[in-house]
Amino acid sequence: MTSMHNIVTNNSKAARYIGAGLTIVATLVVIRLFFGAGLLSNAHHSFFSLWSEDLIKDVYTTTYHTKYDSSYTHCTAMAYPYGEQYTYTGLQILVSAPLQLLEKMGVKDAWKACLPLINFYIIISIFLCALFLYLLLNELKIPPIPSLLGAIGITFLMPQIQRMGGHLTLSYLCVIPMALYFIAKLHNTHHWKWSVFYGILLIISSLSHPYYLAFLSDISIVYMVYLLFTHKKNQWTIPQIGWNFCLQFILPVMVFFGLTSIGNIALDRTAIPNGMHQYRGRVEGLVFPFHRVYFDKEFGKLTGIHPTCWETCCYIGIIADISLAVWFVRIIIDLFHRRITSLFRPTDSPLLNIFLWASILLYLASSLVANIITQNPILFDYISAFAQLRALGRLLWLPFVSLNLLAVYWVWQWISKMDKKWCQIAVFSLVCLAYGYEVYTHSKLSIYPQAYPQWTDYDNKTPENQWVAQINPSDYQAILPLPIFHIGS
């Protein structure tokens, strides 16, 4: 039993490297067990959903843009005859841009790689998510084995797993863990290179979808505000803080808005898209397991609490639920004893506290602020581009990650303080079983890859596509498909 304890608590450099490798292997095993081998073996011709209009639209616009458009940022797959700036069409510019470049370099039919590359990015993001969560938990002083298991549990509970069947550009699971890890490394090393990595991540991810800009802006601003108040204690100078803030936020944001303005010719775009009120963040979407197979459908009738819409469902899991309840009790105790400063330090880890406060800020933006704005329409005139983020329930993804990091952190602290080894093993096993069951039930809601030959028959050789050969394009000024979306979602 002692040797088992030593293995679990070993935090040597070699153990951390081995743990990183085992995290990748464990991710592969979980994908194989819960999502099927087809997720990896059929990525070149499978779709994560055959019924999602969003997914069909994303693949269509990316493929069309790669094959027919000369501009990297202006897409003519929608809004005929004028086209549209790529951000509003759902196309994946990280897929289309390199393939367009290959087409211009003379590589024939590079556009046919759109679907495989889309799937490849999504699958790789799962592995990167688990790896960076593992590294992040290591930075929080948690040994490799608990970090590995915590990383796997959080990864496969991520609400973005559900986006694989719809909003493909939102299904990059690795973005938030990478951002938090870069901040952790910056905090622990004070080296500006981590701000550079953060800034690059901000540009690349935000070009994929503007919601990532909201996540990374929030994290960066909260961290820099923290440094301004604690720079002497943390041995930072004001010029150092300003320089790092420029590298990780100001300059990348300027680059992002500069690049996204290219090809943006629309002057009559809807300033206030529909959805901000319906899709705002709700705390019940975080703490109740709506749509899980084990959740009692009569719960709503008994309590009056009904399932939130899909956009706002970000259930954190039973272990994180317990941790959140403990945190709430601590807040009440601190208020009762007038320990106001303790409210700002829910844990003994400054990094984790920063992540939690960044999450609280995003929750307030997605819930209370969104509700105030929608109840007072005149305020829409003062929020500019923020109104384009109509499904603000998605901002709860950062609280999801932070609360699960808190759960793993507190559970490990609790286990470490136990005197009896059998108690440690029992609690550790129960937590692993709880996360395992949550992952299993979450996988039942997830999307499985499915082939559809008619959609990947690029040369129109299947019987279902023979009719295309009977059409002479020169006889028509334009050929418009039946629209699924006039403009992207």
Instruction: Please write the tens of the pLDDT for every residue from 199-241.
Output: 999 999 988 888 899 899 999 999 999 999 888 887 888 999 9
489 pLDDT higher than 50 = no
The Cα 81–Cα 426 span in angstroms is: 65
Per-residue confidence at 275, pLDDT binned at 50, 70, 90? low
Contacts for 388 with CB less than 8 Å, ≥ 6 apart: 210, 273
Query: For the chain, what is the mean pLDDT?
Result: 81
Question: What number of H helices and E strands is found in the chain?
Answer: 21, 4
Q: Is residue 314 part of a domain?
A: yes
Residue 61 within any structural domain of the chain: no
The confidence score (pLDDT) of residue 337 equals 74
- Say how far apart CA 45 and CA 362 lie, in whole Å: 37
* Percent of the chain clearing pLDDT 90 (strictly above): 24
Q: What 3-state DSSP class applies to 472?
A: coil
Q: Which position has the higher pLDDT, 145 or 372?
A: 145
Residue 265 lies in a domain: no
Residue type (1 letter), 446 = S
401 HSE (CA, 13 A, CB side): 33
What is the model's pLDDT at position 270? 63
Confirm if 139 and 184 have CB atoms less than 8 A apart.
Answer: yes
Residue-range definition of the domain harbouring residue 280: 270-417
In a domain, 384, yes or no: yes
Summarize the confidence of residues 65-85 as an average pLDDT. Answer: 81
What pLDDT score does 194 carry? Answer: 95
CA–CA dist 232, 338 (Å, integer): 26
Binned at pLDDT 50, 70 and 90, residue 187 comes out as very high
Residue 444, domain member (yes or no): no
Tell me which DSSP letter residue 451 carries.
E
* Structure confidence at residue 382 as a pLDDT band (50, 70, 90): low
CB 27 within 8 Å of CB 155: yes
Confidence of residue 296 (pLDDT cuts 50, 70, 90): low
**Contact indicator for 282, 393 with CB cutoff of 8 Å:** yes
142 inside domain: no
Asked if the model's pLDDT at residue 92 lies above 50, the reply is yes
The secondary structure element, H or E, covering residue 450 is strand 450-451
On whether residue 427 sits in a domain, the answer given is: no
What is the pLDDT, as a whole number, of residue 3? 45
pTM here? 0.88
Let me know if residue 283 belongs to a domain: yes
Q: Provide the H-helix boundaries in 250-307.
A: 251-261, 283-287, 299-303
Total number of domains in the chain: 1
SS3 269: coil
CA-based max dimension of the chain: 83
